[in-house]
Structure 1
Amino acid sequence: MAWAQQSRSRIFYVVVLFSGAWVYFTATPVFASKSNVNTGYILHIQMTPAICALDINQKKQRKCLEGYSLTIASLIPETFDNNCATDSSANLPPLQAKVVARVIPDEAYRVQLWRTIGGCTQMTASQYFRTIINYAQNLKIPMVLTDTSSNNVQKIALEGQFFALNKGLPERSVVLNCQKEGRTAYLTHVSICYKNNGQFKSCPTSMVSNCPNNIMIQGTY
């Protein structure tokens, strides 16, 4: 399922985008050293309108200027730690690079993402970005997350929409994260956990939502 991306003048379709300024995986719990066998991956979905509204450093990035509604922060192996850097090539075949450029406008950050995570993926850069796209294409997203208007929703209700839309999504496989601005908690990220074969799985117990019962979903801007 493609993700609708709103622009000021037209509709795009979004699969994945990594944030160029807020490195989400550095705030993610360390699950194991990279010497251990990886048991799965975590897809971090970014609520781009909220990020663009809350982080002044990102407002001039393409994802903010062109009005992306959903992007991807990263795909992280559960074995990710601070020693996952790689010097292997981040180059993609020309056709794949063109596809990725439509959903990851900043090539420099795509390279940064690969060089930070690639050492723990047991993939080439081409395989890694193909995996991201495959995961995102097969994940159905609640419509409220791509609404042009802002919406106040119940945390449990939003989680329920993910479960209803995605067959086989088990309990604790969706983790919501928020950022408070005054009295309002804005949804900034949704994390989905996967087995190595791409099937859904429960997230590690160390992953805990920081969202209150009532959360705000920032509309496109």
Structure 2
Amino acid sequence: MKLKLLSITLLLTLAACKSHAPDASGPGTAIDPPIRPNPRLAAATGFDFYLLNLSWSPEYCHSHPEAAECASHSTFVLHGLWPQNKDGSYPQNCGNGPGSQTGPDASRFSDIYPEPGLLEHEWRTHGTCSGLSANDFFSAARSAYQSVKIPSQLTNLSSQTSLSPEQIAALFTQATPGLSRESIAISCGHNYLTAVAICLNKSLHPIACPAVRSCRANSVRIAPPR
């Protein structure tokens, strides 16, 4: 994605968005989103499912403390809700999507995107492929994000620890009823945790991930919030 960005912080943040597949090296009942999804979600066409990417903020903030997200010392933050296909491909930059000319109202979504430039990027690159208006798309992204409970073992982390990808996934399935191991992909870089991704259907309920690679490291180092 060759975008001319206004700040180096945003440029570095977007680098993680170049590939939807997590680095291969190195949520009984489905989850009910706390905000009722727009009914047009399920009717969206042009892709098969969504990938909800939750970035592990401490890893990014370790080298980019000036980033807007780092001021709150968060753990997992919303990177994006990305339309995906079962064959591993994904649509991008569908500029003729509903509302693509006006874009999202950044003030409505500052809770999930404190950096307006990232919000605009996520809309242009991914949201325009959803079949939704900009504000509907980010309302859906917020709903999906809030439906996943972050494990207390990670929110209360005070020092660096190491866990296997299976152990990290297990923490999420224990914290969020209805979330299965098959719905989760762990992303790592240089054996450090960088993100957790969750595969969702078009109604924002978890599904088994098709064609989404996960971290292959035996043990992943997890940096604490700063």
Q: Is the alpha carbon distance of 1:135 and 1:69 closer, same or farther for their aligned partners in structure 2, counting shifts above 3 Å?
A: same
Q: Deviations over 1:62-101 (max 9, x none)?
A: 2124422221111101143344345432132xxxx44521
TM-score, scaled to structure 2: 0.74
Residues 177 and 209 in structure 1, CA contact (< 8 A), matched pair in contact too: yes
Residues 161 and 222 in structure 2, CA contact (< 8 A), matched pair in contact too: yes
Q: Deviations over 1:39-73 (max 9, x none)?
A: 211100000001122xx4x3311212442222111
Q: Is the alpha carbon distance of 1:68 and 1:161 closer, same or farther for their aligned partners in structure 2, counting shifts above 3 Å?
A: closer
Residue in 1 that maps onto 2:153: 144
Residue in 2 that maps onto 1:40: 49
Cα shift at 1:212: 1.1
Task: Indicate yes or no: 2:157 matched with 1:162.
Answer: no
Measure, in 1, the Cα distance between the counterparts of 2:182 and 2:198: 9
Residues 54 and 196 in structure 2, CA contact (< 8 A), matched pair in contact too: yes
Superposed counterparts of 1:74-93, under 5 Å: 74-79=80-85, 80-86=90-96, 87-92=100-105
Which residue identity lines up with residue 111 of structure 1 in the other structure? E
TM-score, scaled to structure 1: 0.75
Residues 169 and 181 in structure 2, CA contact (< 8 A), matched pair in contact too: no
Measure, in 1, the Cα distance between the counterparts of 2:162 and 2:46: 40
Partner SS for 2:126? helix
The Cα RMSD (Å) is: 2.2
Residue in 2 that maps onto 1:27: 19
User: How many residue pairs are counted as aligned between the two chains?
Assistant: 186
Measure, in 1, the Cα distance between the counterparts of 2:181 and 2:73: 32
Measure, in 1, the Cα distance between the counterparts of 2:144 and 2:75: 18
Report % sequence identity: 22
Measure, in 2, the Cα distance between the counterparts of 1:39 and 1:213: 30
Q: Is the alpha carbon distance of 1:117 and 1:169 closer, same or farther for their aligned partners in structure 2, counting shifts above 3 Å?
A: same
Q: Deviations over 1:168-204 (max 9, x none)?
A: 2234210001111xxxx11001000001111110111
Residues 142 and 165 in structure 1, CA contact (< 8 A), matched pair in contact too: yes
Superposed counterparts of 1:1-221, under 5 Å: 20=10, 21-23=12-14, 24-29=16-21, 37-53=46-62, 56=63, 58-79=64-85, 80-86=90-96, 87-92=100-105, 97-146=106-155, 147-180=157-190, 185-204=191-210, 206-221=211-226
Cα shift at 1:119: 2.4
Measure, in 2, the Cα distance between the counterparts of 1:209 and 1:173: 11
Which residue identity lines up with residue 178 of structure 1 in the other structure? C
Provide structure 1 residue ranges, at least 5 long, that are not aligned to the other structure.
Answer: 1-18, 30-34
Moved over 3 A (4+): none
Measure, in 2, the Cα distance between the counterparts of 1:139 and 1:65: 22
Measure, in 2, the Cα distance between the counterparts of 1:37 and 1:214: 37
